[in-house]
């Protein structure tokens, strides 16, 4: 009798052991993750490079040899500061020649002026004709013009010697590059062969990022939008900026259309240098203290269940609205319409229990709860779709929870559901994927 009792207890223990082992095997065959609360930011990623807001190319206004260089790389300069001085020996000789020409022209003019005054007195006594008087007047005017030309040429030479030979900074800023050395001959800026002697950035404490955004994401970008970016040159640091402009001129490369977006950034500590490469994230929308789940959980579907089994489980979760969808018949253009009014007496529901017009603040899902608000600018004519999260229930069988997805950052997604209680959040792990055996 005692042996039978022990045998019965042994059978019960073995049954419990194998039952627990089977449940553990079921659970251990999947990678799972619990839902958590946190913050999420939806972003549009891009790349770009740092550039000064404005740069000035400083060229020489005359050709000549550089006699002195007074500025170099990274020098802070003020407007009007002398950057370089050109040799003016040849121009001083030319100025002396022009000065002699001015004196010669002035002497000729003064002599002709005296001659014309005499001719006027003779004309008053009718001793010369009006034609002769007119000829003398023309000669006087020609001599005056020659004098004016000579004086203008002299003024040009003096300007070149006293002003243009001194290459000055047109703005306050920082010298980014110097493209000439002492003793080198430079060409005047109007020449096609001229190059910039200096490149000056106006203000390196205010910079900009030039980034390119693809045509699929460009409508999510707007002026004043917050931007965050990182640099490989400064790992571990995060920087902030704002979109200052979105340029409408497209660029097409290898069939990909993109648009130039300018981002204004502060650089008070001068840690950002021109030319640095940036990884840019445009903040499209953000949420605080929301439920988050891995995107893999929203994509998972049990491979061991048939399509009909999955549909039956989902139909059971959706409830009576599935029955209403089955009573819909095709309308015009293949569109499905409800053949009977809804129980509330309002407009019939959309096919398959999908929500209709969105109420203020969100959309009503099939489970009767408010969906997360759509990101700015997004449009979904069919309304948000409920997604199943699969898990193994206490009986060791597949079960799911229908949730309404919100924004995603590419790794996790915001979800909402009236069935997501704190106990369920703490005690349920949803399936991400099946483990490879």
Q: Which string of DSSP letters, residue by residue, matches 119-147?
A: HHHHHHTTSS-HHHHHHHHHHHHHHHHHH
Residue 185: the pLDDT is 93
Average pLDDT, the chain: 82
Has residue 391 been placed in a domain?
yes
Predicted local distance difference test score (pLDDT) of residue 189: 85
Selection from 67, 66, 99, 275 nearest residue 176 by Cα: 275
Burial class (CB in 10 A: 0-12, 13-18, 19+), 117: exposed
Under DSSP, is residue 111 helix (H, G, I), strand (E, B) or coil?
Answer: helix
**Distance (Å) of CA 257 to CA 201, 289, 304:** 31, 37, 43
Indicate if 265 and 208 belong to the same structural domain.
yes
Alpha helices in 125-256 (DSSP H): 130-159
Same domain flag for 299 and 390: yes
Element (DSSP H or E) covering residue 182? none
Query: How confident is the model at residue 320, as a pLDDT?
Result: 62
The answer to the question of residue 14 being in a domain is no
Residue 349 has pLDDT above 60, yes or no: no
pLDDT of residue 243: 97
Q: How far is CA 2 from the centre of its chain?
A: 82
Residue 157: exposure state from Cβ atoms within 10 A (0-12, 13-18, ≥19): buried
Residue 243 and residue 284 in one domain: yes
The total domain count for the chain is 4
CA–CA dist 47, 229 (Å, integer): 9
CA angle 292, 296, 298 (to 5 degrees): 65
Quick: pLDDT tens for 85-131: 999 999 999 999 999 999 999 999 999 999 999 999 998 988 889 99
Q: Do 148 and 251 sit in the same domain of this protein?
A: no
Q: Residue 424: which pLDDT band, with cuts at 50, 70 and 90?
A: confident
Terminal Cα-to-Cα distance of the chain (whole angstroms): 46
* CATH at 173: 2.40.50.100
What is the pLDDT at residue 321?
53
Verify that 117 and 192 share a domain, yes or no: no
- The yes-or-no verdict on residue 165 having pLDDT over 90 is yes
Identify whether residues 195 and 212 lie together within a single domain.
no
The answer to whether residue 381 scores a pLDDT higher than 60 is no
Quick one: pLDDT band at residue 215, thresholds 50, 70, 90?
A: very high
DSSP letters for 287-317: EEEEEEEEHHHHH---TTS-HHHHHHHHHHH
- The reported pLDDT for the residue numbered 346 is 38
Task: Give me Rg for the CA atoms of the chain.
Answer: 43
303 and 424 within one domain = yes
Between 295 and 435, where is the model more confident?
A: 295
Q: What is the per-residue pLDDT for 32?
A: 94
* Residue pointed to by tokens 């529901």: 349
Q: Are residues 305 and 242 in the same domain?
A: no
405-420 confidence digits (pLDDT tens): 999 998 999 999 998 8
Tokens, residue 264 = 């204004």
Tokens linked to 250: 């497209």
pLDDT value, residue 421: 87
For residue 206 the two structure tokens come to 């205010």
Residue at 19 is within a domain: no
pTM above 0.75, yes or no: no
Span 194-204, mean pLDDT?
93
Residue 407 belongs to what H/E stretch? Answer: strand 398-408
Q: Is the pLDDT of residue 183 over 70?
A: yes
**Domain coverage including residue 158:** 88-164
Residues 230 and 252 placed together within one structural domain of the fold: yes
Whole-number pLDDT of residue 13: 41
Per-residue pLDDT tens for 29-67? 899 999 999 999 999 999 999 999 999 999 999 999 999
- Write down the pLDDT at residue 197: 94
Detail the DSSP E strand segments found in 254-385.
256-266, 277-294, 328-330, 336-338
Residue 323: which pLDDT band, with cuts at 50, 70 and 90? Answer: very low
Q: Which residue has the tokens 């204004």?
A: 264
Is 21 a member of any domain?
no
């Amino acid at each position: 009798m005692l042996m039978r009792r022990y045998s019965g207890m042994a059978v019960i223990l073995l049954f419990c052991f194998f039952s627990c082992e089977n449940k553990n095997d079921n659970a251990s065959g999947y990678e799972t993750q619990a839902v958590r609360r946190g913050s999420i930011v939806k972003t549009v990623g891009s790349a770009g490079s740092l550039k000064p807001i404005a740069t000035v190319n400083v060229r020489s206004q005359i050709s000549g040899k550089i006699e002195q260089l007074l500025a170099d790389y990274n020098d802070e300069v003020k407007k009007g500061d002398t950057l370089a001085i050109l040799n003016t020996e040849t121009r001083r000789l030319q100025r002396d020649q022009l000065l002699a020409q001015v004196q010669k022209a002035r002497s000729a003019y003064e002599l002709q002026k005296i001659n014309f005054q005499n001719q006027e007195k003779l004309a008053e006594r009718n001793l010369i004709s009006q034609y002769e008087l007119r000829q003398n007047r023309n000669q006087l005017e020609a001599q005056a013009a020659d004098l004016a030309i000579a004086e203008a040429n002299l003024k040009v030479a003096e300007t070149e010697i006293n002003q243009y030979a001194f290459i000055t900074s047109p703005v306050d800023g920082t010298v980014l590059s110097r493209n000439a050395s002492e003793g080198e001959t430079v060409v005047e800026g109007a020449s096609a062969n001229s190059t910039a002697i200096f490149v000056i950035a106006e203000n390196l404490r205010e910079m900009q990022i030039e980034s390119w955004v693809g045509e699929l994401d460009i409508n999510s970008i707007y002026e004043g939008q917050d931007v965050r970016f990182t640099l490989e040159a400064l790992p571990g640091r995060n920087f902030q900026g704002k979109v200052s402009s979105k340029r409408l001129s497209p660029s097409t490369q290898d069939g990909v259309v993109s648009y130039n977006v300018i981002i204004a950034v502060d650089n008070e500590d001068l840690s950002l240098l021109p030319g640095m490469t940036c990884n840019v994230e445009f903040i499209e929308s953000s949420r605080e203290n929301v439920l988050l789940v891995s995107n893999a959980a929203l994509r998972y579907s049990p491979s061991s269940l048939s399509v009909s089994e999955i549909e039956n489980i989902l139909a059971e979760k959706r409830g009576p609205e599935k029955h209403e969808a089955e009573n819909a018949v095709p309308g015009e253009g293949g569109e499905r319409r409800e053949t009977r009014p809804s129980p509330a007496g309002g407009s019939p529901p959309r096919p398959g229990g999908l929500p209709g017009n969105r109420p203020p603040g969100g959309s009503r899902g099939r489970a009767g709860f408010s969906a997360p608000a759509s990101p700015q600018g997004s449009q979904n004519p069919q309304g948000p779709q409920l997604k199943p999260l699969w898990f193994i229930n206490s009986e060791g069988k597949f079960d799911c929870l229908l949730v309404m997805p919100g924004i995603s950052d590419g790794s996790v997604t915001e979800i909402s559901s009236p069935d997501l209680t704190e106990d369920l959040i703490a005690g349920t792990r949803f399936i991400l994927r099946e483990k490879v055996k």
